[in-house]
Homo-oligomer: A and B are copies of this chain.
Amino acid sequence: MLLLTPVLVAIVCILMVWIFKNADGSSDRKKGEPRAEAHPWVDKDLKDSTDVHQEEAEADEWQESEDEVEHIPFSHNRYPEKEMVKRSQEFYELLNKRRSVRFISNEQVPMEVIDNVIKAAGTAPSGAHTEPWTFVVVKDPDVKHKIREIIEEEEEINYLKRMGPRWVTDLKKFRTNWIKEYLDTAPVLILIFKQVHGFAANGKKKIHYYNEISVSIACGILVAALQNAGLVTVTTTPLNCGPRLRVLLNRPTNEKLLMLLPVGYPSKDATVPNLARKTLDQIMVTV
């Protein structure tokens, strides 16, 4: 009966409640976390700059923006109404011919055109004019092949294990799989990195507001610029490959891969899925 002293009872009770509460805590965590079928790597891959906003709490690390900038009169190119309608119609028709092309020939493209389309992308608006983008243009065949190896390795796991049957079914109509020949054949790969924060001249961090949205807007302009120049591409988001590609390309840790665009001319036998776009009344509501 010595065993049932108040002290021992106390110890046993403390242990039991401790274990119970810990079990409780871990099941709580499970509720918050994506479930097994929920593809946590997608969520992780998609994770954007929100954590950077949180870091803002470390006030000393962050640099405030410089003083006020002069404001100047805005000069505008105005066209007659008829010309506006014509220009907007022609722009739509040009872009409506764009398709995501996965069969790209190995023919070289003029590098001046690549410079120009990236300059065009760089005119995109960005949160507080932070311009949080880096465009890595890969022409070197060995580096392209290393990129292909990394992506195919990860994509095979994506298709077979990570994506789940629904995603694989949803992709079926594109006839895509983890073999990405265009990563070797396309004369140029453009890897677009978002800078989740920047650096001021004094080395302190600069907040990049809405960096993922800003860089995606720049990619939209890039896609339009490529179409305008007569080149083809396909917007890809290599799932789970970001960190390895970042290291391969020697990009700093504040840069995260957002998209990869293989760029070139279509190969002679290029095909595309016979998909239609939504009509204007399916995407626009007027109030």
Contacts and interface: CB of A to CB of B under 8 A. Distances in A.
B47 A46 contact: no
Contacts of A209: 167, 170
A65 B35 contact: no
Given A87-B229, A97-B77, A113-B84, A283 B224 contact: no
B116 A68 contact: no
4 closest cross-chain pairs (CB), A and B: A220-B220, A216-B216, A88-B116, A217-B220
Interface of A: 4-7, 9-10, 12-14, 16-18, 21, 25, 28, 34-39, 42-43, 46-50, 53-57, 59, 62, 64-74, 76-79, 81, 83-85, 87-89, 91-92, 95-101, 103, 110, 112-113, 115-120, 122-125, 127-129, 131, 133-140, 143, 164, 166-167, 169-175, 207, 209-210, 212-213, 216-225, 228-232, 234-235, 237, 249, 258-259, 265-266, 269-275, 277-278, 280, 283-287
19 contacts: A9-B10, A13-B14, A14-B16, A37-B56, A38-B55, A46-B212, A64-B170, A74-B271, A77-B230, A85-B116, A87-B229, A96-B119, A122-B277, A124-B220, A143-B287, A167-B207, A213-B216, A219-B220, A249-B287
